Chain A
């Protein structure tokens, strides 16, 4: 019990400052500098806490309270609270009323409880409450002493990215390839036959044919065409050949019916023996 009182005093000692100086020695009498009192009262968790402190401070046994002294002390505090215009919680006034009631009851002759023959002590309820509160107050202190996660120890967890992050699908190069193949396949199925304007240049083919004939001088007609290039390309190549003939750059010759047709560079103008 003494230990509790010491702990309470300790608490107040930390809180009470008078004119900037820590106020460490509690006077034995009731006088407390008003400045300190203000701080002290804020440190209490309500009237029960204040009462307990008063009792412990005066080294009184809770079970054996002198009601007169206690009420007088308590009322002094309430009085100071009012004078200092501290926000006086209703609970303090209720307690004051209760103390005065108990005190007045103690002055009156008590009637005996009929069945037990015991005297009813008006202090009993107050004592019960004080003890219960004190028990919880100590329990709270003990509870706070229990090592706590985050304060006194930490949960250990190895960082495992699989658990820490949302799991995302794994993608390998094979998967990419498969996907690409699938796209191609799907594209080929939905492909429309498209007729586009092929950019085929007659001039380009003319150049090609001329270059070919310049190196070889003379060429089989069929050698001038590459079937692999497709029909439209062949048509353009043929157009190019006709154009070359029209421009008298190339001559097409056939020595006899059904003989292979040849193309050759046009002969100079003074030898007009072309077809």
Chain B
């Protein structure tokens, strides 16, 4: 340690910046912990008297995230901004605080959500076409009430059906930053060229 300090003494400017960074990290930590929801860079910038660059803020956030590593709570970046959240590993302990289990969504609800998430924007008709069954109004309402899907427009076809997309909150609630971070769609047989696929000889009679 001594030898390092001997090798190169930090300049006063560097020291000033280091102390400034430390203070900014503490401010970010306080604000993020006190905030009720995720905060965007813009939100975070507002709390400082001086104008901070996005790069500097990101660096501070990255360092803060690193500082919190190895704890039960982590700092994460989501679609809606930055947020402190508990790690999934410790959920079972939290569950004991409140033994009431959160209800699980039915398969129908999850499948509807999956179609909307991966094929958005889609109409109810599109969902029905893929699933082969009518989509219950309640399912759509459940997902809307959760704040996971929303109407983003109407398809210009007879009846002008609503087009559904997933929300930013949906991504945040799944701990994601963007749609591209969704689990990739399972690989299915890509080539649907019929003649190549059917080994079974077609009846010829």
Contacts and interface: CB of A to CB of B under 8 A. Distances in A.
B85 interface: yes
B202 A127 contact: no
Contacts of B189: 62-63, 131
A27 B86 CA distance: 45
Contacts of A89: 133-134
Interface in A138-153: 138-153
Interface residues of B, number: 54
A137 interface: yes
Interface stretch (A18-26, A41-49, A209-217): A41-49
Query: What secondary structure prevails in chain A residues at the interface with B?
Result: helix
Given A89-B133, A139-B118, A155-B83, 18 more contacts: A45-B107, A66-B200, A118-B195, A119-B202, A120-B194, A131-B192, A140-B114, A143-B183, A144-B104, A145-B183, A148-B175, A149-B85, A149-B173, A149-B174, A149-B175, A151-B102, A157-B33, A157-B34
Contacts of A144: 104-105, 110
Contacts of B87: 153
Nearest to B193: A118
Contacts of B37: 155
A133 B132 contact: yes
Given A129-B132, A153-B175, A156-B86, A137 B111 contact: yes
Interface in A4-41: none
Given A153-B91, A157-B34, A147 B174 contact: yes
B7 interface: no
B130 interface: yes
Contacts of A138: 186
Contacts of B86: 153-154, 156
Contact of A154 (B85, B130, B134, B172): B85
Most buried by B among A46, A49, A139: A139
A128 interface: yes
Contacts of B157: none
A160 interface: yes
Contacts of B175: 146-149, 153
Contacts, number: 156
A107 interface: yes
Interface in A56-75: 62-64, 66
Interface string A155-173: 1111010011000000000
A135 interface: yes
Nearest to B203: A106
Given A136-B114, A143-B113, A152-B91, A64 B186 contact: no
Contact of B133 (A46, A137, A163, A164): A46
Interface string B69-80: 000010000000
A215 B107 CA distance: 107
A66 B199 CA distance: 11
A45 B133 contact: yes
B35 interface: yes
A63 B198 contact: yes
A40 to B, nearest CB: 14
A110 B199 contact: no
A155 B94 CA distance: 12
B88 A123 contact: no
A140 B192 contact: no
